[in-house]
Chains A and B, each alone.
Chain A
C-alpha cells in the first residue's frame, strides 16, 4: 500500500534562489492494492509533481511517502532498482516514451536485463507473450517494430505490458489517455480498470473528470498543490462541496446535459472562480512556512468524503464548541 503523508515539494525560484515555489503542499492520501485512485487537477495543480515524487524521479521536500510502511526517501543506490520492481509509471506522450532510434521492444529488453538476467530465452518469450495478451495486443503485430510504425494506443499498451512483467504493487498512470484518439481511449482505460483484479493499485492522474469518474473508486482533487476535496468517487461527484470542485463539475462538457442544466442541478451558485483566500496565497509566497494549527486540514463531511475548506472547518469547530 502506498501512503502519502503531508507531502510537500518546494522549488527554488528567483534570481539567486531566494523565493520558494510551492508546487505541492501537505498532500496526504493512500493507494491500496486492488483499487484505482484518480488524482484530478488542472495545469499547475501539482499532480504530475506528485506522480514523479512517487516514482522517485524527484525528491520530496517535506513529508513522507511510504510503500508498505517503508519510507521511500531512504531507498538509495542499488535498492532503487528493487523499488522499481514494485512501482512503475506510464507517461503522457507515447511517442516521447520510446527512444526513436531503437525498436519498441527494447523497453522489454531493458526490463529483462535489469530484473530477469538469468531467465532462459524461451521462458522469457512466453512471459512476454502473456503480458502482451494481457493488454489485448497481438505479439505478431507489435513485436519487432519501430515506434513510428505503431499507433499511440499500441505504444501505451506496450508500456502497460512492460509494467506487468514485474510484480507491481503500484502503477502511476500520468495523463496516459490524453494523447490518444477517442476510439482507443476507452480500451486503454478499460485495461487500467482491469488491473485492479491483479491486486495492483493504480494512481490515475488526469485533468478529465469523466475519465476519473469512469474507472476510479476514490478521487482526489488537487488545486494549486493542495487537496481541496477527496473521497469516494460517487460522493465527490454526487454532491461536490468545495467551490473548486463545483466549478470543475459544472464546466465539464457532458454529452447529454447542457452546462446550464448541470449548474441548475448543483443547485447552489458557483462562487466566483472557485477561489479561496487561503489557497490563493500559494503557490508563490516567501519561504515555506511551518504548518500552523489554524490552517484548514481536510474536514470529513460524511463517510469517506473530505473537503479542504477553512470556512467549513471553522464552522464545524463552532458547532462542536
Chain B
C-alpha cells in the first residue's frame, strides 16, 4: 500500500464554529495508481489534498491517520512535515503562472530549492535536464525568467520541478481547470507519463472535471459534503456507479455527440448542506431520489464488491 488514510477529519475554524470540511475519510492508493478525487465545490476534496501536505492557519486537524509507505505522516505538525514535503509528498500548484518567483531565473530558483532540502544541485542537474527534454522544453529554459515562458511551458516546468525528487505521492489540485483544451490534454498526458516513467509512485488528481479523470485516472473517489461517497475503478464509476450522487453527477455531464434535442440531461436539484451544522444521517439525503427511512442513519463507506466502495444503504443492499 502506498498511501493509507484512516478516518481523517480536518475542520476549519471560524467565528461561527467549526466547519466540518473533511469529516472522516478512509481510503488507500496503491503503487502506480492514479486516483482521481472528484466532487463539486465545497465537498472537501481540496481540504483533503491540502491536509496531506500542509495545514494552513485556519485548518484544524481533528483526528485520523495518514500512512505513506509505512511511515505515519505527522500532518498536524508543520515543522515535522518538512522532511516529507517535496521529498515524499509533493504538490503541483493550481496556478502555475504564479508559482515561480518572477525575479529569479528558473535554474537559480531550482538550485535554491533543492539546496534548501540538502540535495546538491550539481548532482541533480543531469536528471533535471533529462526531464526537461522529456516534457518537450528546451534546456535553455533554465536560463530564462518565468515571464519569458508561455502559460503551457510554465505549467510543464512547474510539473518537472514538483516531481524532481521522485516523490512517492503527487497531489495535483485543479491544474487543468484554467487551461485551454489542447494544453489540458498535454498536461494530463504529461502526468500519466510521469507515472509511467516512475518519477512518482502514485498520484491524487483533484478536479471537478470527470471527463479528464476518465482519460487518465485508474480509479476515482467521489466526495460529497465532506464525506466519501464512492470509490471504484474509472470504468465502474463512469459506467456502473452505485451511489445515487455519482449516478446523477455522471448523467448530468454534457458531451460531444449528445444533443439537447435528442436527450435532455437533468441536474441535481437543491444544493449541498451547510458544513457548519451538517445534517445527521446521510448528507445527500435531502437531494436523493432514492432516500428512505434508513438514510437517517449515516451509511458507512464499505466495500460492496471487490475494489468498489460506496456509502449508501441502497448500494449495500440494505433495502429493508
Q: Which of B40, B182, B264 has the most CB of A within 10 A?
A: B182
Known: A183-B248, A186-B265. A251 touches B182 (CB 8 A): yes
User: Can you list 17 pairs linking A and B with CB atoms under 8 Å apart?
Assistant: A42-B182, A153-B271, A183-B248, A183-B249, A183-B267, A183-B268, A186-B252, A210-B256, A214-B258, A214-B265, A248-B181, A248-B182, A250-B185, A251-B182, A252-B256, A253-B212, A254-B215
The CA of A153 and the CA of B40, in the complex, are separated in Å by 13
Option from B180, B215, B268 in Cβ contact (under 8 Å) with A259:
B215
Say yes or no: is A321 at the interface (Cβ < 8 Å to chain B).
no
B 239-258 contacts with A by CB, 8 A = 248-250, 252-258
Say yes or no: is A288 at the interface (Cβ < 8 Å to chain B).
no
Known: A181-B41, A183-B40. A254 touches B181 (CB 8 A): no
| CB–CB B249/A251 < 8 A | no
| CB–CB B253/A255 < 8 A | yes
| CB–CB A254/B211 < 8 A | yes
**4 pairs of A and B residues whose beta carbons are closest in the complex:** A183-B268, A253-B211, A214-B254, A42-B180
CB distance from A293 to the nearest CB of B (A): 32
The CA of A42 and the CA of B264, in the complex, are separated in Å by 26
CB distance from A40 to the nearest CB of B (A): 10
| CB–CB B253/A182 < 8 A | yes
Option from A153, A182, A187, A251 in Cβ contact (under 8 Å) with B208:
A182
Neighbouring A residues of B189 by C-beta, 8 Å: 259
Option from A151, A183, A209, A237 in Cβ contact (under 8 Å) with B252:
A183
CB distance from A283 to the nearest CB of B (A): 15
Known: A43-B180, A190-B260, A213-B256. A255 touches B250 (CB 8 A): yes
Known: A186-B266, A255-B238. A273 touches B182 (CB 8 A): yes
The CA of A218 and the CA of B185, in the complex, are separated in Å by 26
| CB–CB A255/B211 < 8 A | yes
| CB–CB A214/B259 < 8 A | yes
* Closest partner residue, chain B, to A244 (CB atom): B182
The CA of A278 and the CA of B200, in the complex, are separated in Å by 42
Say yes or no: is A99 at the interface (Cβ < 8 Å to chain B).
no
CB distance from B10 to the nearest CB of A (A): 22
B 242-300 contacts with A by CB, 8 A = 248-250, 252-260, 264-268, 271
Neighbouring B residues of A42 by C-beta, 8 Å: 180-182
Say yes or no: is B174 at the interface (Cβ < 8 Å to chain A).
no
Say yes or no: is B214 at the interface (Cβ < 8 Å to chain A).
yes
| CB–CB A210/B255 < 8 A | yes
Interface residues of A, dominant DSSP: helix
| CB–CB A253/B182 < 8 A | no
Say yes or no: is B209 at the interface (Cβ < 8 Å to chain A).
yes
Say yes or no: is B188 at the interface (Cβ < 8 Å to chain A).
yes
Say yes or no: is A62 at the interface (Cβ < 8 Å to chain B).
no
Residues of B within 8 A of A (CB): 40-41, 180-182, 184-185, 188-189, 208-212, 214-215, 238, 248-250, 252-260, 264-268, 271
On chain A, the number of residues with a Cβ less than 8 Å from chain B's Cβ atoms is 39
The CA of A255 and the CA of B210, in the complex, are separated in Å by 7
Say yes or no: is A173 at the interface (Cβ < 8 Å to chain B).
no
| CB–CB B208/A207 < 8 A | no
Option from B184, B254, B271 in Cβ contact (under 8 Å) with A210:
B254
* Closest partner residue, chain A, to B271 (CB atom): A151
Option from A183, A186, A258 in Cβ contact (under 8 Å) with B215:
A258
CB distance from B288 to the nearest CB of A (A): 12
The CA of A259 and the CA of B249, in the complex, are separated in Å by 22
| CB–CB B40/A213 < 8 A | no
* Closest partner residue, chain A, to B43 (CB atom): A181
Q: Which of A153, A210, A233, A237 has the most CB of B within 10 A?
A: A210
Neighbouring A residues of B208 by C-beta, 8 Å: 181-182
CB distance from A89 to the nearest CB of B (A): 22
Option from A213, A234, A250 in Cβ contact (under 8 Å) with B254:
A213
The CA of A170 and the CA of B254, in the complex, are separated in Å by 24
The CA of A210 and the CA of B212, in the complex, are separated in Å by 13
Neighbouring A residues of B260 by C-beta, 8 Å: 189-190, 193, 214-215
Q: Which of B209, B260, B271 has the most CB of A within 10 A?
A: B260
| CB–CB A213/B252 < 8 A | no
| CB–CB B256/A253 < 8 A | no
Neighbouring A residues of B266 by C-beta, 8 Å: 186-187, 190
Neighbouring A residues of B264 by C-beta, 8 Å: 190
| CB–CB A185/B267 < 8 A | yes
| CB–CB A181/B40 < 8 A | yes
Q: A254-B256, A254-B257 are in contact. List 10 more A-B contacts (CB 8 A).
A: A183-B40, A183-B267, A186-B254, A186-B267, A193-B260, A237-B257, A253-B209, A253-B212, A273-B182, A274-B182
